[in-house]
């Protein structure tokens, strides 16, 4: 059973999401919150598997709430999916940098939303690499991007740096294997080790680190 927490300042949005999850086998909604501060408190009490987090809310917004939740050692098993309207929301990159496992458009179809929550609950990346790359570039192109090397960047081997750069270009493990003429298992191992060394929670955050560190 996947436990879900809903965070949105609009009652109707939460009501609709609850109805979706309550009527789908394998899910249960364990908590709700209408603002970021309440979300942090509710997450600490409920320890949900996945949180659907709105960004724009009164008081503490979803970005700060995501940062607090992801940085809480007691909530290491909780993953955050940011809900956004995208066309008008320039904060997605910041949300990923704060540790969100990905993001969804608010007009996402119910089957796709359910599948995304399952994927994140299983520890996977929310978005396909190519989609992650495209969306992050959309936001990083809005303003000059300062290069801030990750503090653990020196721990990566030359091959691992190369792998991380390819991940940020949107290549899947299979595509990386083909380009470097290695087995998919080897590519997957390099990606996993790079994530561990950099402390990336998932592939989306690894892409963020690559962009921040100037590897992409």
Q: Does residue 176 lie within any of the structural domains? A: yes
Q: Does residue 206 lie within any of the structural domains? A: yes
Phi, psi of 59 (to 5 degrees): 70, -125
Q: Are strands 50-54 and 79-84 parallel, antiparallel or unpaired?
A: parallel
Residues 6+ apart with CB under 8 A from 180: 162, 163, 166, 187
For residues 93 and 22, membership in a common domain is answered with yes
80 DSSP assignment: E
For residues 111 and 160, membership in a common domain is answered with no
Number of domains in the chain: 2
For residues 26 and 88, membership in a common domain is answered with yes
Q: Does residue 199 lie within any of the structural domains? A: yes
For residues 171 and 109, membership in a common domain is answered with no
Q: Does residue 114 lie within any of the structural domains? A: yes
Q: Does residue 145 lie within any of the structural domains? A: no
Domain with 172 in it: what CATH number? 1.10.10.10
Phi, psi of 135 (to 5 degrees): -70, -40
Residues 6+ apart with CB under 8 A from 97: 205, 208, 212
* Domain of 161, in residue numbers: 153-212
Q: Which residues of the chain are under the pLDDT cut of 70? A: 86-90, 92, 124-145
Q: Does residue 139 lie within any of the structural domains? A: no
> Is there a contact between 52 and 83 (Cβ–Cβ < 8 Å)?
yes
pLDDT at position 179: 92
Q: Does residue 77 lie within any of the structural domains? A: yes
Percent of the chain with pLDDT over 70: 86
pLDDT per residue as tens digits for the range 127-177: 555 556 666 666 556 555 677 888 999 999 999 999 999 988 878 888 899
For residues 103 and 199, membership in a common domain is answered with no
For residues 11 and 76, membership in a common domain is answered with yes
Q: What is the reported pTM? A: 0.72
Domain with 15 in it: what CATH number? 3.40.50.2300
Q: Does residue 138 lie within any of the structural domains? A: no
For residues 12 and 96, membership in a common domain is answered with yes
For residues 185 and 100, membership in a common domain is answered with no
pLDDT at position 145: 63
């Amino acid at each position: 059973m996947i436990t879900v927490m809903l965070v949105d300042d609009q009652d109707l949005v939460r009501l609709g999401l609850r109805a979706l999850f309550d009527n789908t086998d394998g899910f249960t909604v364990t908590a709700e919150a209408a603002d970021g501060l309440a979300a942090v408190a509710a997450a600490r009490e409920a320890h949900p598997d996945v949180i659907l987090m709105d960004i724009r809310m009164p008081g503490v917004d979803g970005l700060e709430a995501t940062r607090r939740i992801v940085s809480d050692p007691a909530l290491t098993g909780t993953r955050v999916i940011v809900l956004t309207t995208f066309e008008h929301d320039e904060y997605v990159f910041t949300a990923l940098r704060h540790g969100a496992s990905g993001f969804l458009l608010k007009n996402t179809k119910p089957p796709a939303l359910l599948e995304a929550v399952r994927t994140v609950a299983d520890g996977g990346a929310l978005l396909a690499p190519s989609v992650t790359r495209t969306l992050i570039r959309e936001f990083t192109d809005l303003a000059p991007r300062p290069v801030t090397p990750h503090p653990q960047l020196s721990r990566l081997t030359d091959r691992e740096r190369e792998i991380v750069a390819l991940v940020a270009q949107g290549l899947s493990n299979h595509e990386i294997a083909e380009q470097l003429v290695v087995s998919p298992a080897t590519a997957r191992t390099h990606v996993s080790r790079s994530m561990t060394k950099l402390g990336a929670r998932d592939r989306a955050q690894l892409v963020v680190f690559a962009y921040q560190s100037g590897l992409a």
